[in-house]
C-alpha cells in the first residue's frame, strides 16, 4: 500500500529549470494528484491541478497559464489561458493540448505539431507584424535544440507584397531548414 501527502514550497526541478512556488502532492496507490500547484521558469508562469494514473503512465493537467512567452514576448506572449494538458509517458513522452490541437513528442529530440496555428498567430507580435492571420498546420522538429526543420502549411497573411506586381501575395506554404 502506497500513500502519502507532500507539501512543496519554493522547490526547484533542475531537469526542467522550474521553480515550484507551492504544490500539494497526494499519492494513493496508483493515483497521484498534484493540487494547487504554481510553477514558474524563464518562459512560463502557470497554476495547475493534475491527476496521474501511474499504472497507465498518463496524466491530465487542468492548467491556468498566466503567461507563456518566448524572446521576451516578441515571438509569443500568451496570457490568461485555461487549458487541459494531457501527458502520456507509457512509451514516449507525449504532451497534447486538445483545444489548440497541439501535440508535442520528445522521442528523438523534440517535435511539435500544431493543427490550430491561429492560437500562435493571435499571441505573436512578430507574426502579427508580418501579417500572419492563420494556417492549416505548423510543424517543428529538432534533434539537439540548435538545428531544426520547420514548416508552415497553407498560411494566410495580409501584407503589401504583390506577385509579379499585380496579384496580392496572401497565401503560401514554406519550409525552414
Residues 46-88 pLDDT 10s = 999 999 999 999 999 999 999 999 888 998 899 999 999 999 9
Write phi, then psi, for 71 (nearest 5 degrees).
55, 50
DSSP run (H or E) holding 125: helix 125-129
For position 15, what pLDDT does the model report?
Answer: 63
Mean pLDDT of 156-167: 88
Cell of 22: 507551492
Q: Where are the domains of the chain?
A: 1-91, 116-177
How many CB atoms are located within 10 Å of the residue 79 CB? 12
91 pLDDT higher than 80: yes
Q: What is the pLDDT of residues 24-36, one digit of tens each?
A: 999 999 999 999 9
The SS3 call for residue 108 is coil
How many CB atoms are located within 10 Å of the residue 80 CB? 8
Q: What is the mean pLDDT of the chain?
A: 92
Among 57, 54, 28, 34, which Cα is nearest to 46's?
34
- Answer yes or no: are the C-beta atoms of 25 and 32 closer than 8 Å: yes
Cell of 112: 511539435
pTM of the model: 0.85
Amino acid at each position: 500500500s502506497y500513500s502519502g501527502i507532500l507539501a512543496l514550497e519554493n522547490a526547484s526541478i533542475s531537469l526542467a529549470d522550474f521553480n515550484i512556488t507551492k504544490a500539494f502532492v497526494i499519492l494513493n496507490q496508483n493515483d497521484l494528484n498534484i493540487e494547487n500547484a504554481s510553477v514558474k521558469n524563464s518562459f512560463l508562469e502557470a497554476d495547475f491541478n493534475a491527476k496521474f494514473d501511474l499504472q497507465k503512465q498518463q496524466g491530465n493537467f487542468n492548467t491556468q497559464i498566466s503567461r507563456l512567452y518566448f524572446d521576451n514576448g516578441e515571438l509569443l506572449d500568451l496570457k490568461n489561458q485555461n487549458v487541459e494538458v494531457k501527458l502520456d509517458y507509457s512509451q514516449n513522452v507525449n504532451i497534447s493540448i486538445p483545444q489548440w490541437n497541439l501535440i508535442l513528442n520528445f522521442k528523438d529530440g523534440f517535435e511539435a505539431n500544431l493543427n490550430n496555428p491561429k492560437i500562435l498567430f493571435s499571441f505573436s507580435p512578430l507574426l502579427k507584424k508580418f501579417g500572419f492571420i492563420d494556417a492549416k498546420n505548423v510543424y517543428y522538429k529538432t534533434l539537439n535544440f540548435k538545428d531544426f526543420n520547420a514548416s508552415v502549411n497553407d498560411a494566410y497573411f495580409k501584407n503589401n507584397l504583390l506577385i509579379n506586381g499585380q496579384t496580392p501575395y496572401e497565401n503560401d506554404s514554406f519550409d525552414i531548414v
